[in-house]
Structure 1
Amino acid sequence: MDIVEYKKIVVALRPSLLAVARHITGNTEDAEDVVQDVCLKIWHYRDRFDQYENMEAYCTTMVRNLSIDKIRSRKPFSDEVELLGKETGEQLPDSVLEEKEERDAIRRIIEMLPPLQQRILQMKDIEGYETGEITEMTGITAESVRNNLSRARKRIRELYFSYYQHKQATE
């Protein structure tokens, strides 16, 4: 195979080889790398290619195999990302347990608030009521709603900060 025949084969096959590689690898950069490797192999082994009847099938098989190799070579990174729970959206058992502990601590902290502050906090921050709606339901002034809400949030911050410091000190 000479350079003219090589160019003719590569120019004709390149778009279909790129499509196959892109489909398998999932991105254009890896597909370009794979097709470039195949083109180099075609050139390096040009004296052997006369024995193949279907050059396109042979080149497609090479692209397929190299694409799979490319995916396998990046697999350890994917495993690390999955272990961190970032790619799959799943959380590791440790982080799930930590979140549960924090939610429980916050719930206990809220239960330590006076009943009116608990109710106003629940209505405003959890149920999403506006201050005017809370005043109508509770029968207290808007200023009292804001003051109680402010006190409740401040107390929650203080108690949670103490909880967090204690947790850090015991670890």
Structure 2
Amino acid sequence: MNQTEFVKLITPFKDKVFRLAKRLLVSTEEAEDATQEVLVKLWDKKNGLDKYNSVEAFAMTITKNYCLDQLKSKRAGNLQIVHNNYTDGQAGMQKQLEDRDSLGWVEKIIDGLPEQQRMIVQFRDVEQYEFEEIAKMMDMNETAVRVALSRARKTIREFMTKTHNYGIG
């Protein structure tokens, strides 16, 4: 595989690699370093990539593992997943403020989820991966992924309902 073929192969998902690294490592600089490390690892394996059903899923698995290793080496206790991609250009100012407030609450709730649930929410709800791909990346079976996602969404829903019904919780 030459450089041009490699670039064509990784271009569709390299931004996803960066976003996952950024959500796990928080620091933009560390996420850029992680992305570069993952791309170097893929380049080193470029002639064997055809054995993988999904090079993208393989890249995301490498990213997840690399970032978790980085966090463990720093003894960082919490992972942060922050969803910054929500915008609504049509909403009025009040609606935008309410949406921003709700998004802030969702981010805080997600931050409080167990690591596995945070990552599954990231992969499914933010990156839009299929359950089969998530199961491979997380080394879980699909049923366990669905259960963990259901529990995470239930937790988010319960906290949001409480917040909206009773004010700041």
Based on CA coordinates, which of the two structures has the bigger radius of gyration? Answer: 1
> Using CA pairs below 8 Å that are at least 6 residues apart, which structure has the higher relative contact order?
2
TM-score, with structure 2 as normaliser: 0.43
TM-score, with structure 1 as normaliser: 0.43
Bigger share in helix: 1
